[in-house]
Amino acid sequence: MKSLYYTHPDFLLHDTGSNHPECADRLRSISQILETPAFSELIKKSPPLGTEQQISLVHPLRYIETLRKAIPELGLHFLDPDTVLSPMSFQAALRAVGAVCDAVDQVLIGKANNAFCALRPPGHHAEPERAMGFCLFNNIAIAAQYALHHYQLDRVAIVDFDVHHGNGTQAAFYNQANVLYASSHEMPNYPGTGFPNEKGMDNIINVPLESGDTGVEFREKYSRVILPALNHFKPDLLLISAGFDAHQQDPLSSINLHENDFQWITQELMNIADHHCQRRIISVLEGGYHLQALASSVATHVKTLMNG
Which 3-state string (H, E, C) describes the chain?
A: CCEEEECCHHHHHCCCCCCCCCCCHHHHHHHHHHCCHHHCCCEEECCCCCCHHHHCCCCCHHHHHHHHHHCCCCCCEECCCCCEECCCHHHHHHHHHHHHHHHHHHHHCCCCCEEEECCCCCCCCCECCECECCECCCHHHHHHHHHHHHHCCCCEEEEECCCCCCHHHHHHHCCCCCEEEEEEEECCCCCCCCCCCCCCCCCEEEEEECCCCEHHHHHHHHHHHHHHHHHHHCCCEEEEEECCCCECCCCCCCCEECHHHHHHHHHHHHHHHHHHCCCCEEEEECCCCCHHHHHHHHHHHHHHHHHC
Any idea where the domains of the chain sit in the sequence? 3-307
pLDDT of 308 higher than 90: no
pTM for this model (two decimals): 0.98
With 80 as the cut, is the pLDDT of residue 1 above it? no
- Res 46: pLDDT: 98
For 160-172, write each residue's pLDDT tens digit. Answer: 999 999 999 999 9
Q: Which of 125, 185, 290, 301 is catalytic?
A: 125
* CATH topology classification for 3-307: Arginase; Chain A (3.40.800)
Residue 273 has pLDDT above 90, yes or no: yes
Q: Is 125 a catalytic residue?
A: yes
Does the structure show a pLDDT above 80 at 17? yes
Question: What's the whole-number mean pLDDT along residues 76-99?
Answer: 98
